[in-house]
Copies of this chain bind each other. A is one copy, B any other.
Amino acid sequence: MKKLINKPEDLVREALSGFAAAHADLVKVYFDPVQVVRADAPVTGKVGVISGGGSGHEPMHAGFVGPGMLDAACPGAIFTSPTPDQVLAASKAVHGGVGLLHIVKNYTGDVLNFELGAELARGEGIEVEAVVIHDDVAVEDSLYTAGRRGVGVTVLAEKMAGAAAEEGRPLAEVARVARLVSERGRSMGMALTSCTVPQAGRPTFDLPENEMEIGIGIHGEPGRSRRKLAPASEIAEVLARAVLDDLPFERGDRVLAFVNGMGGTPLLELYLVFHELTRICAGRGIAVVRSLVGPFMTSLEMAGCSITLVRMDEELTRLWDAPVRTPALRARL
């Protein structure tokens, strides 16, 4: 295992110390329990938006804390759900008096611990709604999940619901936006290589030199199939077809297209996949009106990518375009 770390068990805390130092203008990091909180939290009269999940997917979620997106993130250990007390502490830290939205990726541990955390927060008089994201069309159930896994749509829902909250909309409205993005978004990923969890010390799975895994999960969970390595144009076609046919996306749709890197794939390759994806969408009469390309939801150093499409309308486009200032995503400040 070749990694820039000290002791595996210290990695997340040491990295969060660096994150706190690098982004002191945007976030505060607390360690007992671990939470990353917007520097000016709580914002009185604003709905707080919170997410979280295992570490190892950076910049998701801590990198999305800041004005216009998340009020707090709860990072668990590597590929491990945050605990209910993290969720409770973050909920109390960012509650501005008008309720909270929890955005939760559909993994059994995350859903359970966010539910427990929400119950504890409600016990302290905080109104909480939760939206569970389950956009991965690859498989219906998976290693850590009942139902579809939550992947790329999470990032986009955090941006758009965060914008709605920043506008001062009430909790029911902010939750509606997150649900709308979830309903209209679909994703699928693939891997060329496995990642290595530091505390495990060896690759999560073996993938021969001439094979790839289609439909991979962000923790290396098995996907739909193993196939022989293929040109990027074919890979994009396989991923895009699965995503497009599932919603289904239709001629005349206007979409946000998100090509996400799994961590170990060069940006050059991600832009090439985006090029293929726009070509495929154009061929079906679908217009890519907004885009995001880069490693935003990673799986440590895994090589691979995922694609996400969301059917946009005027409201969602405006929320996507709204100002945001976070460590990982900034626009039109």
A residues at B contact (CB < 8 Å): 2-7, 11-12, 14-19, 21-22, 55-56, 58-59, 63, 192-193, 209, 212, 229, 231-233, 235, 263-276, 278, 288, 291, 293, 295, 298, 300-301, 303-305, 330-333
Contacts of A59 in B (CB 8 A): 267
Selected from B5, B22, B293, B332, the residue in CB contact (under 8 A) with A269 is B5
Selected from B11, B266, B274, the residue in CB contact (under 8 A) with A18 is B274
Q: Which 4 A-B pairs have the closest CB atoms?
A: A18-B275, A18-B271, A18-B274, A58-B267
Say what secondary structure dominates the interface of chain A. mixed
Name which of A7, A15, A233, A295 has the most chain B CB atoms within 10 A of its CB. A15
Contacts of A235 in B (CB 8 A): 4
Alpha-carbon distance A55/B268, docked complex (angstroms): 8
Contacts of A231 in B (CB 8 A): 5-7
Selected from B58, B229, B274, the residue in CB contact (under 8 A) with A21 is B274
Contacts of A278 in B (CB 8 A): 18, 21
Q: Is the CB of B232 within 8 A of A269?
A: no
Q: Is the CB of A2 within 8 A of B288?
A: no
Q: Is the CB of B268 within 8 A of A21?
A: no
Q: Is the CB of B5 within 8 A of A272?
A: yes
Nearest B residue (CB) for A268: B15
Q: Is the CB of B274 within 8 A of A229?
A: no
With A268-B12, A291-B21, A298-B267 known as contacts, the answer to whether A229 contacts B2 (CB < 8 A) is: yes
Residue contacts A-B, CB under 8 angstroms, 5 given: A2-B212, A4-B304, A6-B232, A11-B269, A15-B272
Output the least CB separation between A294 and chain B (Å).
Answer: 8
Contacts of A268 in B (CB 8 A): 11-12, 15, 55-56, 58, 300
Output the least CB separation between A132 and chain B (Å).
Answer: 25
Alpha-carbon distance A295/B328, docked complex (angstroms): 12
Contacts of A21 in B (CB 8 A): 274-275, 278, 288, 291
Other A-B pairs beyond A2-B229, A22-B271, A263-B266, 6, CB < 8 Å:
A6-B232, A15-B268, A21-B291, A264-B303, A268-B300, A330-B331
Contacts of A267 in B (CB 8 A): 58-59, 63, 295, 298
Q: Is the CB of A291 within 8 A of B58?
A: no
Q: Is the CB of B193 within 8 A of A2?
A: yes
Alpha-carbon distance A7/B232, docked complex (angstroms): 9
Alpha-carbon distance A333/B265, docked complex (angstroms): 29
Selected from B56, B265, B300, the residue in CB contact (under 8 A) with A301 is B265
Output the least CB separation between A150 and chain B (Å).
Answer: 20
Q: Is the CB of B193 within 8 A of A4?
A: no
Name which of A21, A235, A291 has the most chain B CB atoms within 10 A of its CB. A21
